[in-house]
Amino acid sequence: MPRVSMEHVVNNRYDIPAKTRVFVNAWAMGTDPEIWEDPESFRPERFLQGSPIDFKGQDFELIPLGAGRRICAGMNFGIAAVELAMAQLLHSFDWELPPGVTAKDLDMTEVFGITMHRKIGLVVLAKPRFP
């Protein structure tokens, strides 16, 4: 979402006059090799509990839900809903790759857009854990 600067600001070497439309490139921040070690690799352990990375907008390395006064109003509900759905799926099913497919066969290439998604969809088999 674009923002408009309220007053003249000098940030690092950038001179931003008042009333300038500014776009925050969250994707570039999230893939900056000066901030992230091996930024293009899928490494979810970066965000485990106790990690110094805060996805809630306090650290500006990662701001998927915005930051400051304009942070996502539904953030807490969204986080709870995703965690509940994921917990239910993991609890209720055993997950396997289709016959003949190995982990090495998976293409984890992403496609850039409003949201990030895989170029080729992931196909898995969900087997009910409970009869």
User: What tens digit of pLDDT does each residue of 70-114 get?
Assistant: 788 888 898 899 999 999 999 999 999 999 999 999 998 888 777
In a domain, 112, yes or no: no
Residues 6+ apart with CB under 8 A from 26: 63, 64
The range of the structural domain enclosing residue 36 comes to: 2-72
- Does the residue 127 lie in any domain? no
Give φ, ψ of 85 to 5 degrees: -65, -45
Please report whether residue 95 resides in a domain: no
Residue 49 falls inside a structural domain: yes
Q: Is residue 108 part of a domain?
A: no
Domain count, the chain: 1
Check whether 63 is labelled as a binding-site residue. Answer: no
Is position 119 within any domain? no
Any domain includes 20: yes
- Residue 21 domain flag: yes
Q: What is the pLDDT of residues 27-68, one digit of tens each?
A: 888 888 988 888 888 888 887 777 777 767 666 777 777 777
